[in-house]
Amino acid sequence: MGVMDLSVVEQVARLDAWIAEGGVAVLTGAGLSTDSGIPDYRGPSGSARRGTPMTYQTFTSDPIARRRYWARSHLGWRTIGGARPNEGHAAVARWQESGLLAGLITQNVDGLHQAAGARDVVELHGNLSRIVCLDCRELTSRVELEHRLTAANPDFAAVATTINPDGDVELDDDELSGFTVVPCRSCGGVLKPDVVYFGETVPADRVTRSFELVETARTLLVLGSSLTVMSGRRFVLRAVREGIRVAIVNRGVTRGEPYADMVIDAPLGVVLPNLATDTDNHRFVNTVTVSKPK
């Protein structure tokens, strides 16, 4: 299992038993994707301190800022688009296949849960692989857009240094000169990744669905999230209100600790592959109604 102290080993054994009971709602954050080469925001590889994230208001109102964003994101997609699921994503998909999950909610925009085989993922903040036109609302593929951006900028040779979980990168302004942004092919409108920017509201139907999944679970398991922002922490608060136990596996500090029944500070890539591995015995355990813990 790797090197872990005795207290963590004991916690992992307890969490394994909880997962084996079924009815687990999983909420994942950027820390789950670090082993896939995508830095998180606030953990050991955190990038939140490195730059100011794009806001919806700036993106829609400032053409220069929008051009800057697309140049940086064009470079960042080389990392995000090429990332592959890690053992943590595979473990979560395995639990779902075995019938142990009540639902899967992610704050990530990298699509790695689906790439690992997970289904019916509630993507709170959207997915970078989709592009939406802000005028006609048409959805198109990010791969198609990347081909268009490459064709429109044949001499763009900038090199990214630091990448953020949202696909944005750090890049000097002098490397952005002449970068061309392409419009919507259908209406000529403004294109944006189909993700929720800072200052933008998570669609109500995703929030409602997430609350429903949490409320029908017997365990809420948070993986790789510091729960610093209310976007994810509200589900922990709802679980506590409903008497549902909360377990957190995360590297570093988490704001969910005061509300959790269990917090495991350990590498997710070490912990998760060793949980609920006996899939034949666990399969379809969640097809019957389970009672919540007292």
Q: Which of 74, 113, 125, 282 is catalytic?
A: 125
Q: What is the DSSP letter of 292?
A: P
Q: Are the C-beta atoms of residues 165 and 47 closer than 8 Å to each other?
A: yes
Q: Tell whether residue 187 is among the known ligand binding residues.
A: yes
Q: How far is the C-alpha of 68 from the C-alpha of 259, rounded, in Å? A: 40
Task: State the DSSP code for 244.
Answer: -
Residue found by looking up tokens 């679980």 in the block: 239
Contact 128, 252 (CB under 8 A): no
* Spatial separation of the C-alpha atoms in residues 111 and 118, rounded to whole Å: 10
Q: In 170-206, which positions are buried (b, 16+ CB within 10 angstroms) versus exposed (e)? A: ebeeebbeebebeebeeeebbbbbbbbbeebeeeeeb
The annotation status of 184 as a binding-site residue, yes or no, is yes
CB 260 within 8 A of CB 154: no
Q: Is 121 helix (H, G, I), strand (E, B) or coil?
A: strand
| Residue 170 marked ligand-binding | no
All residues at 6 or more sequence positions from 254 whose CB lies less than 8 Å from its CB, including other chains: 222, 225, 226, 227, 248, 260, 263
For the question of residue 89 being annotated catalytic, the response is no
* Distance, CA of 81 to CA of 114 (rounded, Å): 13
Q: Indicate the annotated binding residues.
A: 133, 136, 184, 187
The residues annotated as belonging to the active site are 125
- Annotated binding residues for Zn(2+), as ranges? 133, 136, 184, 187
